[in-house]
Amino acid sequence: MNELSKKLEQQKLGSIKLNEPLKHHTTWKIGGPARVFFEPDSLEGLQEGLKLISAYSLRWFALGRGSNILISDKGIDAVVIKLGDNLANLHQEESIVTVEAGHSLIKLATIMSKKGYSGLEFAGGIPGSVGGAVFMNAGAHQTEMSDILTKALILMPNGEFKWMSRDELGFEYRTSILQENGGICIAAQLQLIKGDLQEIRERLQKNKAYRKNTQPWKDPCCGSVFRNPLPMHAGKIIEELGLKGYSIGGAKVSELHGNFIVNTGEATAKDVINLIEEIKQLAWKHYGVQMETEVEQIM
């Protein structure tokens, strides 16, 4: 690891930190240190950095804005690649928008709505990055990323770039093929629709207001914890189990929305895992429903 960090620094590919606490980089404010924390300064820096990491056969994973992820309290013996503001460029040609993975999804939705382009209003309440949204096919209000994405630029584990079409990405409910093949979404091409500026902005504001009124957006959380066991809804199941406000250690089921677990101050990953497991057991016991998480666990 030390040799790798020296080479990354020598090649000036971006920012390098050793034993960086990951709780500073997740929306849950949970996570131990990463052996190497690498924030590339460009797409080229990312590509060259990943080639070096692969040459050393080291474990790695990409981190966007830190939502929808739970990281071990002990930290991880791996290289964390941070896709941040250095990888957030935006290019627009009329209704076609190409945006890099580090761009905030909510910010992108706001920018496009102000220009009178429709398609991203659903993202007004999703606190993540464009790359993470593609990775998990994020969605809300009956719309998903796969509804507007035409193709994505993927950095494969071997360091090669590859454009993949919507069909090739194998989108399903909160799922893409990237969760299996280890590729990183580093840019997405979106097809939007020119529409009425006022109507678009009203829809976006309505979705933002819904989030503020029904979700614990002021508290450290990851977003929705469980996938909806369609046609049922995870939040409703948890609420009917009487678990709103229920806590284990510093992890608590939100009193606003049953499908959100908040960090009340000193929650550990173990607290969250124990709470998730208890919810699973109760849902199975009382409803015969197998609850599945949409949170990525890095242990």
Judged by DSSP in three states, 9 sits in helix
Query: Cβ(95)–Cβ(193) under 8 Å?
Result: yes
User: Rounded distance, CA 15 to CA 83, Å?
Assistant: 11
Residue 179's Cα: distance from chain center in Å? 12
Torsion-angle region of 75 (φ positive above 0: left; ψ -120 to 50: alpha; else: beta): left
Q: Hey, what's the torsion of the CAs at 74, 78, 83, 85, to 10 degrees?
A: 60
**Cβ count near 85 (within 10 Å):** 12
- In terms of residues, how long is the chain? 299
Q: Which of 20, 100, 144, 294 is catalytic?
A: 294
User: Rounded distance, CA 186 to CA 197, Å?
Assistant: 29
Q: Which of 118, 176, 224, 254 is catalytic?
A: 224
Q: Is 294 a catalytic residue?
A: yes
Q: Is 57 a catalytic residue?
A: no
Q: Is 174 a catalytic residue?
A: yes
Judged by DSSP in three states, 65 sits in coil
Q: Which of 174, 176, 203, 254 is catalytic?
A: 174
Hey, CA dihedral for 278, 283, 284, 285, is it positive or negative? positive
User: Rounded distance, CA 264 to CA 276, Å?
Assistant: 16
Structure tokens at 213: 């009124």
Q: What is the DSSP letter of 226?
A: B
Residues acting as catalytic residues: 174, 224, 294
